[in-house]
Structure 1
Amino acid sequence: MAAPKPGSTDAYSMILEAIDVGTYRPGDRLVESELADRFGVSRTPVREALQRLETQSLLTRDGRSLIVASLDHNQTAELYVVRGELEGLAARLAARHATEEEVRVLREMVEADNKLVNDPSALSRSNRRFHKQIHLSSHNRYLVQQLDLLYRSMALMATTSLAAEGRGELAQAEHDKIVSMIEARDEDGADEALRSHISVAFVTRLKQEAARREDEG
């Protein structure tokens, strides 16, 4: 397969980022001309970027329109299973390979994020940075690549589990434990702490979805 052209790569990155930060949410329609105007590029690279995103199942067809895809219950469950496995491995490898500087950054992230527990949107962004730092601290490029792909799909979730009442404080306590295990170079403990963190997040999301269905009913 030919490598994407530079212009289409830029357009792809910008559209992906817009989905990732919630500018475009699941179900939103993406219009080629509007995207070209928003990002200041021509329509050709936008068209190529949209085709690439559709191939990756981040966009789907609604008649002739392309919309941001959404995840059903089974897809969400499958994603969390894989996420728990990969993130647990990342924490295990971080406990083994992270430099002292990387561990210090993780600790400082937790301390800074404690101030954001009442701001789910800001905490969600910081949460992604925290997890990304763990991924990088694993010093395994192939694992980082797979987690990057996984997090693209996570952008298709309509809400963050951190918006649930009390979840911010609990998530921060879980982050603190994960970093403590990495600081102690406890590979099993880091793996278990991060897997548990993902499990609690999944339970929270399931409760959010149940409440949403009840409201809609």
Structure 2
Amino acid sequence: MSRSSNQTDAYALILEAIDVGVYRPGDRLVESDLAERFGVSRTPIREALQRLETQSLLERDGRSLIVASLDHNQMAELYVVRRELEGLAARLAARHATEEEIRVLQEMVESDDAFVDNPTELSKANRRFHEQIHLASHNRYLVQQLNLVHRTMALMATTSLAAEGRGRIAQEEHKTIVNAIERRDEDGAARALKDHISVAFMTRLKQDAGDRAKG
């Protein structure tokens, strides 16, 4: 295996571990531990950590690297960008998605109903659903930007889908989005997805307020 592929694999492995919650905001990442965990030498691990730091997914805590966390302002800024980009993706999906891609979205929404009371699994399904809309936009540059946004979303300690009743409501919102895409209603699809992100943001703000009250 080449050095560059080793480096790419190490980066992808660490990124996925952060994404699925193996490493949470504030967790310290140690080269030797990561190398042992993933079966990769320390050099590509070190290079992957440097890359993640430049992307602001890791931050310095003294001499250590820890998984970054988002403060209130960063979270708000991220949701503003996500709302606009996701809305554009839905608009382009309504314009460009193939019949097969629309059918896949419909099947995803139907099957994801099984996870409404399981926030962890629903969160994974939600990610797959949104990625499918991104791909259906048929715009590679938009997909790249949304990938970065979703990677940064992993720096939030909890999912808004964990809020009481949010899973069921989110599923209904997903159905509204897909129905608009199927009708080729570009304005309706964009509006439905932007509204979906706005509700998710409000849910997360309420979660944070509740956490502060407990503290």
TM-score by length of 1: 0.97
Query: In the aligned structure 1, how far is the partner of 2:42 from the partner of 2:167?
Result: 41
Q: 1:195: how far off?
A: 0.2
Query: In the aligned structure 1, how far is the partner of 2:59 from the partner of 2:144?
Result: 23
Query: In the aligned structure 1, how far is the partner of 2:210 from the partner of 2:64?
Result: 30
Q: Residue 66 of structure 1 aligns to a residue in which SS?
A: strand
1:142 alignment partner in structure 2: 141
Query: In the aligned structure 1, how far is the partner of 2:15 from the partner of 2:166?
Result: 27
2:155 alignment partner in structure 1: 156
Query: In the aligned structure 2, how far is the partner of 1:210 from the partner of 1:59?
Result: 25
Q: Residue 167 of structure 2 aligns to a residue in which SS?
A: helix
2:88 matches 1:89: yes
1:71 alignment partner in structure 2: 70
Supply the AA of the counterpart residue of 1:184: R
Deviations 1:185-206 (A, max 9, x none): 1000000000000000000000
Deviations 1:32-82 (A, max 9, x none): 000000000111110110011111110001111100000000000000000
2:206 alignment partner in structure 1: 207
Q: Identical aligned pairs, as a percentage?
A: 76
List aligned pairs for 1:15-164, cutoff 5 A: 15-164=14-163
Q: 1:7: how far off?
A: 1.1
2:13 matches 1:11: no
Deviations 1:12-40 (A, max 9, x none): 00000000010000000001000000000
Supply the AA of the counterpart residue of 1:145: Q
Q: CA RMSD in A?
A: 0.7
Supply the AA of the counterpart residue of 1:58: L
Query: In the aligned structure 2, how far is the partner of 1:15 from the partner of 1:133?
Result: 23
* Runs of 4+ more than 3 Å apart: none
Q: 1:9: how far off?
A: 1.1
Give unpaired runs (5+ residues) of structure 1. none
Query: In the aligned structure 2, how far is the partner of 1:42 from the partner of 1:142?
Result: 33
Give unpaired runs (5+ residues) of structure 2. none
2:187 matches 1:188: yes
Query: In the aligned structure 1, how far is the partner of 2:50 from the partner of 2:179?
Result: 43
Q: 1:8: how far off?
A: 1.2
